[in-house]
Amino acid sequence: MNFVQERKRMVEEQLIPRGIKDSLVLAAFRKVPRERFIPREHWYETYGDFPLPIGEEQTISQPYIVALMTENLKLKGEERVLEIGTGSGYQTAIIAEIVKEIYTVERIVSLAQRAKKTLEELGYTNVETKIGDGTEGWEKFSPYDAIMVTAAAARVPESLLKQLAINGRLIIPIGNLYSQELILYQKKKRGLKTTNYGGCRFVPLKGKEGWR
Ligand code: SAM
């Protein structure tokens, strides 16, 4: 397996033709070794155009969805970001390549521990991980310039909106347990602006302000 070549091909064939054009996002995808976040038995399909299982009935998202969500946060480099649903830690690494600080919360202990280890091994020093219910956010380091939720909810958790800075952007899949739409909320002084980025399918966001 030539991971370097496959990574390059993923960017050229899956991301650029579908309209991903932010140079910071594309550079992050060219750099982060996705194979390090994938169980060995799935290595042969690491750079496939689909999600993959990571254990505990959870998944690492399709590369294009990771790129689409990241691009729409419009990150420039100086931001403090909150991610809910660390999973494998791949999305965390992509964001860590771009911004100053990222805080990430995962509710499943084994996944959180493995992601932390992988991110440390890869040398990320701007990532803080936490085990807990991310529907309540991570108040200590708020407000956040951007928030990404990588699990599906029926509605956006109030705590997350509260912890978002004015002019901040929050992206989350909203819908039922089987299908959702990717919704971007922009917090303005007077209310929220929403943009719909189309259909998607995520595992459920479970917790106090998510699915019970
Ligand atoms: N971004 C991840 C990656 O790159 O591998 C994929 C995330 S996976 C689609 C969704 C994750 O959200 C799962 O690991 C799941 O355990 C987690 N999750 C679900 N509800 C959560 C909650 N309330 N707080 C934190 N994590 C949660």
Reading the chain (212 residues) residue by residue, the pLDDT tens digits are 899 999 999 999 999 999 999 999 999 999 999 999 999 999 999 999 999 999 999 999 999 999 999 999 999 999 999 999 999 999 999 999 999 999 999 999 999 999 999 999 999 999 999 999 999 999 999 999 999 999 999 999 999 999 999 999 999 999 999 999 999 999 999 999 999 999 999 999 999 999 98
Q: Would you call 14 helix, strand, or coil by DSSP? A: helix
Cα of 39 to ligand 1 centre, how many Å? 16
The two beta strands, 80-84 and 58-60, are: unpaired
Judge whether 62 and 182 are in contact, CB under 8 Å: no
Q: Who's near 140: CB < 8 A, 6+ residues apart?
A: none
Residue 124: which residues within 8 A CB-CB, separation 6 or more?
92, 93, 96
pLDDT of 1 reads 81
Q: pTM for the complete prediction?
A: 0.98
What pLDDT shows up at residue 149? 98
Q: Which CATH number fits the domain 64-200, given the four candidates 3.40.50.150, 3.40.50.720, 3.90.950.10, 1.10.40.30?
A: 3.40.50.150
CA of 190 relative to ligand 1 center, distance in Å: 30
CA distance 57 to 204: 11
Ligand 1 binding residues, C-beta < 6 A: 58-61, 84-85, 87-88, 90-91, 105-108, 111, 133-135, 150-151, 202-203, 205-207, 210
Rg (CA), the chain: 16
